[in-house]
Structure 1
């Protein structure tokens, strides 16, 4: 029997073995390369970057966007295999997703599958006026500016609080939002937060306060907020104004006068400003001004409802952020001479 057929069969087996070994090597290489891809960071070069997935986007278009922005150079098959391996194919949510330095394809797909969209924060600062709040909202990124073109009354109507003066009605806090949220959403949440806070604090107020309603407490708190930024002085400042109200004295608070001056305020209060009989001039009109003059934070509200005791009826700024308190006008005038006119004795 000829050995040629045997040699041919042996050669074929050798070729098959080589082919199988090559295939196995390719599969091992491919598997290792796939695992390298899934765990290797994307080409994110700066913090704060993000990617938008619009509603109805296909998986192919998402991967295409990653390629277009040079965030990945991996072929689309790897992305498809990874999505299938993670069981998230067809389950990716629309939204904006953070692209952090070091983010891997696996982590990105996990975020998209969980709908872990990028959250931004908007902080309402204690002591802002409502006008300043609106200006800050207009500058906020990735926020729909649905209040643009609306006047204050229309905004309050949209928030379900028609007829309310907006000043003071929004609680200073940090509010999270995602792309596509509206500035009206933030205002509605801040308004509701102030309503809840006032409702919780009002029943705990000190006895015998000359404040008839929670709104009057809100007005006083806004004055306290503008008079001092020091936590250790809020209750003292509130105590002065409470005693002045109890003694039927004019409040004589400059921040209220400034608020009433509006755009005409240029950094200084003149004598004529203190004698002008406007609704917010607490040098000419008794009692509280008609509305809050700013957005008071919770600490200012607590101070207004729990003022410090004592006999001080006056205070003057020291020039270092703090104040000096006095029980009578003569002592107060001496403090004014010392700390404002620098004629200390």
Structure 2
């Protein structure tokens, strides 16, 4: 009886173990099919999926889980940690119907799989810098960027003599092998659409003869502050200076006029040396924009603040201090210099 009972127990244990293994396999299969093996959700036979700079696998997984497009997101995160060592690559990927989540994740781990070329146009940079990036981009077909500016503008059929300021900053995706002409025209029309819209809705009494002059001012405002809430204040200062007949006296225009001579600092001699862009020596606006302004800067120029400030200076701790008169401004300058001295000495200002 003991031997028979022992055999029965072993048989039951074996059966239970086999059943347990089968159950684990089945559960694992179900989990796999609902997570990694699930068909990646697209709405057509193929679809371009855009991944922006800074996006992560973890964020993408959480987004898919929130939309109820995948189950068991922790499984996806474990798979990513174990089998995908690289980061999620920004770009645009062609996903075909029937591809699993795992296949799409593997696809996005290699930037060479991106079907489109990412081009970043940073607000406040110059058209010269953008053209140089396009010249060096192996995914862009060069048809106009190597031409002299006058010939390039003619080839683009843009009714201005200089390209500066006419291109909208943003992050763009173009097909690999796209021409520089098509890229530049797309950026140009984007900027003109913004400029036309803002010009139509502008405040009354602005000191600009046309929208191009407003664009010039927008580029100056963009270069003077990177703090969004200061844009209308800086715009207001320069608007009032123009209305009062004061010179703009803004350093970024001096730097732009210096061109390749600029080595990172401005001297008193630079401020006294006349150029077409030196607003310490000329009255009014320079002849062209000095950078690529974004939509916020253009909007700020069309809607300057209604204060009485005509001066501003950096605080040394981020941002600027605005003043209505020279006495207040001189005091603000001394405070700024004091902050700089304190920082140089290693003290807390």
If the TM-score is normalised by the length of the shorter chain, which range does it land in?
0.5 to 0.7
Tell me, yes or no, if the aligned pair for 1:167 and 1:295 is still in contact at 8 Å.
Answer: yes
Q: What CA distance in whole angstroms lies between the structure 1 residues aligned with 2:259 and 2:114?
A: 41
Q: Secondary structure at the match of 2:173?
A: strand
Tell me, yes or no, if the aligned pair for 1:168 and 1:296 is still in contact at 8 Å.
Answer: yes
Q: What CA distance in whole angstroms lies between the structure 1 residues aligned with 2:146 and 2:330?
A: 48
Tell me, yes or no, if the aligned pair for 2:134 and 2:145 is still in contact at 8 Å.
Answer: no
Which residue is 2:103 aligned to? Answer: 103
- Gapped runs of 5+ residues in structure 1? 1-38, 42-95, 109-115
Which residue is 1:225 aligned to? Answer: 222
Counting only pairs closer than 5 Å after superposition, residues 16-165 of structure 1 correspond to structure 2 as 102-103=102-103, 118-161=115-158, 163-165=160-162
1:148/1:288 CA distance change after superposition, 3 Å: closer
Q: 1:328 pairs with 325, 329, 339, which one? A: 325
* 1:321 CA drift (Å): 2.8
1:172/1:98 CA distance change after superposition, 3 Å: same
Q: What CA distance in whole angstroms lies between the structure 2 residues aligned with 1:214 and 1:303?
A: 13
CA offsets 1:60-106 (integer angstroms, 9 cap, x no match): xxxxxxxxxxxxxxxxxxxxxxxxxxxxxxxxxxxx968999438xx
* 1:117 CA drift (Å): 8.1
Tell me, yes or no, if the aligned pair for 1:119 and 1:178 is still in contact at 8 Å.
Answer: yes
Tell me, yes or no, if the aligned pair for 1:197 and 1:298 is still in contact at 8 Å.
Answer: yes
225-234 vs 141-150, which deviates more?
Answer: 141-150
Counting only pairs closer than 5 Å after superposition, residues 273-288 of structure 1 correspond to structure 2 as 273-288=270-285
Q: Secondary structure at the match of 1:294?
A: coil
1:97/1:141 CA distance change after superposition, 3 Å: farther
Q: Does 1:251 align with 2:248?
A: yes
- Gapped runs of 5+ residues in structure 2? 1-35, 39-92, 108-112, 343-348
Tell me, yes or no, if the aligned pair for 1:244 and 1:250 is still in contact at 8 Å.
Answer: yes
CA offsets 1:259-317 (integer angstroms, 9 cap, x no match): 00000011111111111121111111110111100010000000000001101110001
Tell me, yes or no, if the aligned pair for 1:171 and 1:194 is still in contact at 8 Å.
Answer: yes
Q: Does 1:268 align with 2:257?
A: no
Say which one has the larger Rg.
1
* 1:140 CA drift (Å): 2.9
Which residue is 1:59 aligned to? Answer: none
Which residue is 1:242 aligned to? Answer: 239
Q: What CA distance in whole angstroms lies between the structure 2 residues aligned with 1:97 and 1:332?
A: 57
Which residue is 1:338 aligned to? Answer: 335
* 1:146 CA drift (Å): 2.4
Q: Secondary structure at the match of 2:308?
A: coil
* 1:143 CA drift (Å): 1.7
Q: What CA distance in whole angstroms lies between the structure 1 residues aligned with 2:114 and 2:280?
A: 52
* 1:196 CA drift (Å): 1.3
Which residue is 1:296 aligned to? Answer: 293
Counting only pairs closer than 5 Å after superposition, residues 176-255 of structure 1 correspond to structure 2 as 176-255=173-252
Which residue is 1:306 aligned to? Answer: 303
Question: How many positions carry a matched residue from both structures?
Answer: 243
Q: What CA distance in whole angstroms lies between the structure 2 residues aligned with 1:316 and 1:186?
A: 38
Tell me, yes or no, if the aligned pair for 1:221 and 1:304 is still in contact at 8 Å.
Answer: yes
Tell me, yes or no, if the aligned pair for 1:153 and 1:162 is still in contact at 8 Å.
Answer: no
TM-score, length-normalised on structure 2?
A: 0.65
Tell me, yes or no, if the aligned pair for 1:117 and 1:178 is still in contact at 8 Å.
Answer: no
1:315/1:172 CA distance change after superposition, 3 Å: same
Q: 2:166 pairs with 166, 169, 188, which one? A: 169
Tell me, yes or no, if the aligned pair for 1:98 and 1:117 is still in contact at 8 Å.
Answer: no
